[in-house]
Every structure is written in structure tokens, then in C-alpha cells.
């Protein structure tokens, strides 16, 4: 098979990389089923609309810059789905649109598009809106209030998520077993641990995702939660609540496994995952927001190439030389 000149790296890798992206999109659509069941048509509008905005943004950029539109590149759909699933179901539509536009127009396309961006676009979009409008990103309507989530506007009763309660040192009233299916306040697609775990297992079996970074991510976060519990009800309970609340599992399984922004070496992936998991927990404990997954993924993306360089240098039996490992500054 002759490779297309100028094609993104994922196309040059052959069919397997394209299949991996299709598998990821399929899994995200499967994970979207429960949010639609729990929250109604508004969840479907948020997810489909976010995917459409990302794809349209990608097409517009390609047309404006006279670049080829690769119809097999479904990464904009993946970015849009991830952003929507990390949002509360009652988030204003314009917040999702802002995250989509930032992800595609700022964090992705200026670097050359799919396979060339140093940062996870969805994480960048989420961080952008989280910093500017945290009152919308971290406000959740009360699911057991009996209210129907309207398509447009409307006054809703809100309540903290389990991650929000834990941030205050309070044990959530919901039992960890009940949290497996995600029927509680939080990011609408990032709380169903059963669906997320099944989707990740499918990706690993299909060889569409590497298990190392996600597994080390979760293990490191669990160890941190055991050593530094935020609630005083025992280590085991603390670990369960930390892993099942918020977006930890979602970010570990679907964002830490991103082949474009994670290290290429196996050891690098393990280090990346472990550091990202610890960083997430540090941000949960000392950061400004209850969710730190996207912040951790974004920050670790900046050091991902450095991890590969360090690992390869040690494998060659050399010693660390900062001048050789760190990228040189561009000449003026």
C-alpha cells in the first residue's frame, strides 16, 4: 500500500490506526447510551452537537488553509464526544461549543492536526472552559429530584457531586456499589464505571489502546488515595470513592491512552500514567477545582516527549545530560 504524501501520521500508519480510531468512537457512543437514558434528549443533543461542532471546525480550517480534508479522520468526532461526556447534562450549550472551538482551533489544528499536536485537544478544551466558567462546568442538577431536564433553559435544583463532597472532607451518601452505573451527580458520561471499564477492555482486546498508561494511572491514584485519604472512614472506602467519583476512570481509560500525546516507549507509558494519576490526586487535594483529570492529562502532555528521551537514553547505557535531553531553544 502506497502512503499518501502529506497525510496525517495516523493515516501513514496504515489501516490499523484508522481502525483504532473507529473503535474508540464506537466505544464512546456505547458509553453515551447511559447518559441519554438518565438525562433524556438533552444529553443526546449535547453529544451529537459537540461532535458536529468539532467536525465542522476541522473542515473550515482545512478549507481556509487549503489543506486536504481527510474523510477517514474521525478524530474530531472523538474530541467532541469526549468533551460532551465530561460535561454536566445541564451545562449551557455555548460552554460546550467554546470548549469544542478551543480544542480544534487552538489546541489541534495550529500544530498540524491529528497525530502532530503535543496536547490532548479534548483536555485542552475542558481546561479552557473550566478556568473561565467553573460555575457551569462543575454545577450538577439533582438527578433524584424528579425534575425533567429541559432542552432549553429552565430552573433546576442543583447539588454537589460525590467529588464535591469529598473535597469538603465529607463522605458522599451514595454507596460505592451504586456508583458503578453512574446514576449520580457528576460529568454525565464519566461516572458509569461499568460502561467505562467494559469499553476500555474492548479497546485493549482489539489492540486499539495500550493498557500501560491507563492501568498505571489508576493504580497510582489508588495508592495516593490509600496513603492520603480525604475522608476518615477507612482506606478501602476512600480508594473506592476516589476512583468511582468524578472523571478519574474516564480520563485514565480514554485520554491517558491517546497514542498521539502519550510516550512511544512502554516504560515511558508506565511512567506517564503513574505521574498523571498522582498529579490528578494532588490537584484534587490542593487544586482549585473538584476535577483534575484534564489538567493532569494536559500537563503530562508537555513532558511526554521528554519521558521517551530519558527512557531511551538510559536504555543505551548513557548518563543523563540535560543539554542532550532537553530540546534546544530556537535561534533568534
DSSP 17-56: HHHHHHHHHHHHHHHTHHHHHHH-HHHHHHHHHHHHHHHH
Provide the number of structural domains found in the chain: 1
Domain, as residue range, for 303: 9-147+168-314
CATH at 210: 1.10.3430
Note down pLDDT in tens along the chain; length 332 residues. 333 444 444 443 444 578 889 999 999 999 999 999 999 999 999 999 999 999 999 999 999 998 888 877 899 999 999 999 999 999 999 999 999 999 999 999 998 888 788 899 999 999 999 999 999 999 999 988 777 788 886 778 888 999 989 988 888 888 877 789 988 999 999 989 999 999 999 999 999 999 999 999 999 999 999 999 988 877 888 899 999 988 999 999 999 999 888 999 999 999 999 999 999 999 999 988 998 999 999 999 999 999 999 999 888 765 555 444 444 433 33
Q: Has residue 157 been placed in a domain?
A: no
Pick from 3, 25, 9, 28: nearest CA to 113: 9
Residues 6+ apart with CB under 8 A from 108: 79, 114, 117, 121
Pick from 259, 298, 304: nearest CA to 20: 259
CA angle 282, 283, 287 (to 5 degrees): 125
Calculate the dihedral angle through the C-alpha atoms of 162, 163, 166, 168, rounding to the nearest 10 degrees: -110
C-alpha cell at 319: 548518563
Q: Has residue 320 been placed in a domain?
A: no
Q: Has residue 152 been placed in a domain?
A: no
Q: Has residue 177 been placed in a domain?
A: yes
C-alpha cell at 245: 467519583
Residue with cell 492529562: 297
141 SS3 class: strand
Pick from 94, 238, 89: nearest CA to 166: 238
Q: Has residue 326 been placed in a domain?
A: no
C-alpha cell at 286: 490542593
Q: Has residue 253 been placed in a domain?
A: yes
Amino acid at each position: 500500500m502506497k502512503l499518501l504524501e502529506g497525510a496525517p501520521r495516523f493515516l501513514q500508519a496504515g489501516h490499523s490506526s484508522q481502525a483504532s480510531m473507529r473503535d474508540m468512537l464506537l466505544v464512546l457512543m456505547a458509553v453515551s447510551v447511559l447518559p441519554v437514558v438518565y438525562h433524556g434528549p438533552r444529553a443526546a443533543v449535547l453529544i451529537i452537537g459537540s461532535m458536529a461542532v468539532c467536525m465542522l471546525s476541522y473542515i473550515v480550517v482545512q478549507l481556509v488553509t487549503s489543506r486536504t480534508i481527510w474523510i477517514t479522520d474521525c478524530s474530531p468526532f472523538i474530541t467532541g464526544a469526549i468533551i460532551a461526556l465530561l460535561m454536566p447534562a445541564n451545562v449551557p450549550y455555548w460552554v460546550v461549543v467554546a470548549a469544542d472551538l478551543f480544542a480544534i482551533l487552538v489546541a489541534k489544528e495550529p500544530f498540524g492536526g491529528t497525530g502532530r499536536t503535543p496536547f490532548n485537544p479534548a483536555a485542552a478544551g475542558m481546561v479552557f472552559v473550566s478556568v473561565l466558567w467553573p460555575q457551569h462546568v462543575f454545577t450538577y442538577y439533582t438527578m433524584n429530584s424528579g425534575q425533567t431536564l429541559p432542552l432549553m433553559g429552565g430552573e433546576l435544583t442543583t447539588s454537589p457531586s460525590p467529588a464535591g463532597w469529598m473535597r469538603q472532607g465529607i463522605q458522599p451518601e451514595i454507596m460505592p456499589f451504586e456508583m458503578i452505573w453512574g446514576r449520580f451527580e457528576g460529568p454525565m458520561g464519566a461516572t458509569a464505571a461499568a460502561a467505562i471499564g467494559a469499553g476500555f477492555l474492548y479497546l485493549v482486546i482489539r489492540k486499539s489502546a495500550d493498557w500501560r498508561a491507563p492501568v498505571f494511572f489508576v493504580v497510582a491514584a489508588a495508592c495516593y488515595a490509600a496513603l492520603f485519604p480525604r475522608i476518615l472512614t477507612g482506606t478501602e472506602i476512600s480508594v473506592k470513592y476516589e476512583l468511582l467519583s468524578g472523571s478519574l476512570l474516564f480520563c485514565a481509560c480514554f485520554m491517558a491512552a491517546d497514542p498521539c500525546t502519550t510516550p512511544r516507549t512502554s516504560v515511558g507509558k508506565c511512567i506517564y500514567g503513574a505521574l498523571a494519576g498522582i498529579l490528578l490526586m494532588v490537584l484534587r487535594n490542593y487544586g482549585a477545582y473538584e476535577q483534575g483529570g484534564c489538567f493532569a492529562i494536559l500537563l503530562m502532555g508537555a513532558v511526554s516527549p521528554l519521558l521517551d528521551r530519558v527512557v531511551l537514553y538510559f536504555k543505551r547505557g548513557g548518563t543523563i545530560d540535560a543539554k542532550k535531553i532537553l530540546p534546544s531553544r530556537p535561534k533568534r
